[in-house]
Amino acid sequence: KNQVEQSPQSLIILEGKNCTLQCNYTVSPFSNLRWYKQDTGRGPVSLTIMTFSENTKSNGRYTATLDADTKQSSLHITASQLSDSASYICVVKGSTLGRLYFGRGTQLTVWP
């Protein structure tokens, strides 16, 4: 069964600290993996997209890694800011029919 599991479910960190969010998937065959940031009540916004051959991709203070062999990805946030408080969603696109599989997200709260 194609699934995307994210951990932790929620996370609280202090402003300025770093954190890492995890995503494990079983989707096969695999096309690409995306990380989205979703502010409360808003639509998800794309942070990174990685294909099978890409191991690391950065977008400002966000760095995503992908290990296609172990089917694991991580999103590292550096020097967190209050505005980073949001849900971070891992989305895996399967090669068959291009179907997207969504994780349930990690709810990140950054405290001052």
Between 47 and 77, name the residue whose CB sits nearer to another protein. Answer: 47
Residues 6+ apart with CB under 8 A from 91: 4, 33, 34, 35, 36, 100, 101, 102, 103
Minimum distance between the CB of residue 62 and another protein, rounded to whole angstroms?
Answer: 14
Q: How far apart are CA 91 and CA 9, in angstroms?
A: 15
Query: Does the protein bind another protein through residue 25 (CB under 8 A)?
Result: no
Selected from 21, 25, 27, 44, the binder of another protein by CB under 8 A is 44
Can you give 18-65 as a three-state secondary structure string?
A: CEEEEEEECCCCEEEEEEEEECCCCCCEEEEEEECCCCEEEECCEEEE
Which residues, 45 to 84, sit near another protein by CB under 8 A? Answer: 45-46, 49
Query: Of the ranges 14-22, 59-67, 76-84, 97-105, which one interacts with another protein (CB under 8 A)?
Result: 97-105
Query: Does the protein bind another protein through residue 1 (CB under 8 A)?
Result: no
Query: Does the protein bind another protein through residue 99 (CB under 8 A)?
Result: yes
Q: How far apart are CA 42 and CA 86, in angstroms?
A: 10
Q: Which residues of the shown chain bind another protein in the complex (CB under 8 A)?
A: 34, 36, 41-46, 49, 89, 97-100, 102-105
